[in-house]
Amino acid sequence: MTQRVLTTESGAPVADNQNSATAGVGGPILLQDQHLLEKLARFNRERIPERVVHARGSGAYGYFEVTDDVTGFTRADFLGEVGRRTETFIRFSTVADSLGGADAVRDPRGFALKFYTEEGNYDLVGNNTPVFFIKDPVKFPDFIHSQKRDPFTGRQEPDNVWDFWAHAPEATHQVTWLMGDRGIPASYRHMNGYGSHTYQWTNAAGEAFFVKYHFKTNQGIRSLSSEQAAELAGKDGNSHQTDLLQAIERGVNPSWTLYVQVIPAAEAAEYRFNPFDLTKVWPHSDHPLQRVGRLVLNRNPDNVFAEVEQAAFSPNNFVPGIGPSPDKMLQGRLFAYADAHRYRLGVNHTQLAVNAPKAVPGGSAENYGRDGLMATRNGRRTDKNYEPNSYAGPAQTDAALSAPLAVQGWTGTHAAPSHVKDDDFFQAGELYRLMSDDEKARLIANIAGGLSQVTRDDVIEKNLAHFHAADADYGKRVEEAVRALREG
């Protein structure tokens, strides 16, 4: 095998990579040692800003295969025929902790999926829970600040966590999920994924439907107790990353079955719950799951930084036949996600291999965006950077990706519209009543363990009122457990 030559960034051969240039034997290092300075300067810049949320993640490549005909609901090409396969990349993540945090913690898990379709990249950005803590994006920075490290103590503070939840009664449903048995997945392979938000599908006839995505793990649900998680996190902070990597390397390819719930757009306004409220689910008795296909992961990234850390997902990356809904949290994320990547990775992050669309030649988007940091595909000398033009540049299709959404009323800040069964506690109570006695006992213990550490009585009382409102037994047991821990 021919020995490859080590070079500098400019391509010049490196004569000595073991010793720095000095002024004589044992003398001080010389500023003219370009190779040394280049290495140190690059080393200082190896890290990019980590994500504010979902910082710690793992990823894998795979494919999505259509198993059932859904063309009656959407004209999306990659869902157009049974048997069609589309390459995918997925990133799993924890939410609250930093890049150096442990995998086995009680926290929602990100479930971000990129479909490299022939009509462009489609990003589905969700979690392993079907609901979330808040319903309006204006509260998102405050929520995350309450869950992250305190500016003074440098650690997550129960006072901050529970104080925010005390003032956000809509969080009761997601708190019940998080503190229940599924709050700590045993691995990324053994948890479900959800689009969480409501999205719009449009069929070839122009008919619009609202949908929710459910990825059901084919490995079965497996979760950790608080005690098991604490032990595992102490032994191996990379437990979920290691599990995913090793499973795929030995050919045990994880898979999920995708189902959707569907509501014709015309019926959404009359549904008993606000169908665009991220703190609510659509009960399966109202809208049964309909199978779509299966997701299979079969290839690990070659480089975690290049392909996992630099992977950029945005829910505004739609394809024809799929679009947004009036879900306010989704509407906020349509801007926030893409903006986060422009900040972290630069305006040309879509030219990176993991993010580049495969639907166009060379993986370069056909548009008039130019220049900016790390611009690598600025076009040929004959390409113009304006539109319209007389030089056969890319032109619009005049075909909307999805159906228009009807709007009416006055501009201003409005609370979400109230539907017949809309309140902040009904679905949390329904979830509690579905649990077995053992599941309820573990849920109560998990909530009381955190709430009992809060130092302000009024914050405790506000949170207890939420659990009482969800279910009388739920509230009574949490209150008794908190009292016992505080008096013990």
203-235 b/e (C-beta count within 10 Å ≥ 16 → b): beeebbbbbbbbbbbebeeebbebeebbebbee
Cβ contact 33:20 at 8 Å: yes
State phi, psi for 214 to the nearest 5 degrees: -130, 115
Written as one string, the DSSP assignment of 28-59 is: PBPTT-HHHHHHHHHHHT---PPPSSS-SEEE
Helix (H) or strand (E) holding 115: strand 109-117
**Class of residue 374 by CB neighbours under 10 A (exposed 0-12, middle 13-18, buried 19+):** exposed
Q: What is the token pair recorded at 174?
A: 């997601």
Please identify which residue in the block is written with the tokens 């929520």: 143
Instruction: Tell me the C-alpha distance between 402 and 209, whole Å.
Output: 10
Please identify which residue in the block is written with the tokens 């959707």: 260
Cross-strand partners of 216: 257
User: Does a cis peptide bond (omega within 30 degrees of 0) precede residue 388?
Assistant: yes
Active site residues: 54, 127
Instruction: Tell me the C-alpha distance between 360 and 38, whole Å.
Output: 36
Cβ contact 439:180 at 8 Å: yes
Please identify which residue in the block is written with the tokens 């479900």: 192
